[in-house]
């Protein structure tokens, strides 16, 4: 019962955070950057200021599709960020560039997360089939269900390793935006606020994954009795 309360609370918090995040980005998207620097301009300048010249900045379709691809050394910015000259776009672009800086400097949590990507991809594709098999074979064995729990635990671990990676990238972004003069005393708190709410989405995702994992464990444990 307690786990259900936690899962419902996580769902409600997730909705609140998503709405607040969207509201903040819509608001800060109306605030221009000095010199009308676009998200792409910000990313390229941040790379150059940190002596990184082997990372590309590309535009990708979609909304909130911004990400850094360490395997290809590409900062992919969504259309709304790539060509927008707003403090919101600058914050997102600087955040993704922060991941490129982490990669260049060998930031340990990023290396750990990258190493887990193939494992998590396999776990995500396999876990549904394993749980289905566990339900069908439950009257014979509980081992299949525990296998599914182990696979799902890998995705939960990945969610928690992601937290320091995202928070650190945001800190790098806000610090550089202030030091470079792209954000001033008025707009730097806006960039920090936008990235703070973006970070909350990762926190709530990790908590949701943990709650789901505990729920699966409670089912498997009850079937042992």
In 59-187, alpha helices (H): 79-82, 87-105, 108-136, 143-180
96 is catalytic: yes
Per DSSP, what are the bridge partners of residue 32? 86
List CB contacts of 166: < 8 A, sequence separation 6 or more. 198, 199, 202
CA 215 to chain centre: 23
Q: How far apart are CA 187 and CA 184, in angstroms?
A: 5
Helices (H) and strands (E) in the chain, counts: 7, 3
Q: How far apart are CA 7 and CA 196, in angstroms?
A: 23
Active-site residue (options: 44, 57, 87, 96):
96
Grouping H, G, I as helix, E, B as strand and the rest as coil, residue 59 is strand
Sign of torsion, CA 147 152 155 161?
negative
User: Catalytic residue numbers?
Assistant: 96
């Amino acid at each position: 019962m307690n786990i259900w309360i936690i899962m419902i609370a996580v769902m409600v918090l997730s909705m609140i955070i998503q709405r607040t995040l969207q509201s903040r980005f819509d608001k800060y998207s109306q605030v221009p950057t000095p010199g009308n620097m676009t998200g792409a301009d910000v990313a390229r300048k941040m790379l150059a200021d940190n002596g990184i010249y082997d990372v590309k900045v590309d535009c990708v379709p979609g909304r909130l599709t911004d990400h850094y691809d360490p395997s290809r050394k590409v900062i992919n910015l969504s259309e709304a960020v790539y060509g927008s000259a707003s403090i919101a776009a600058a914050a997102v672009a600087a955040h993704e560039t922060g991941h490129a800086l982490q990669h260049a400097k060998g930031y340990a949590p990023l290396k750990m997360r990258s190493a887990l990507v193939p494992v998590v991809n396999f776990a995500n594709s396999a876990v549904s089939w394993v749980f289905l098999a566990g339900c069908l074979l439950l009257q014979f064995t509980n081992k299949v269900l525990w296998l599914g729990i182990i696979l799902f635990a890998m995705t939960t671990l990945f969610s928690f390793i992601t937290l320091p990676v995202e928070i650190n990238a945001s800190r790098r972004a806000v610090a550089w935006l202030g030091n470079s003069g792209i954000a001033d005393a008025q707009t730097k708190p806006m960039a920090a606020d936008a990235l703070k709410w973006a970070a909350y989405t990762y926190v709530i995702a990790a908590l949701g994954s943990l709650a789901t994992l505990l729920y699966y464990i409670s089912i498997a444990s009850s079937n042992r009795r």
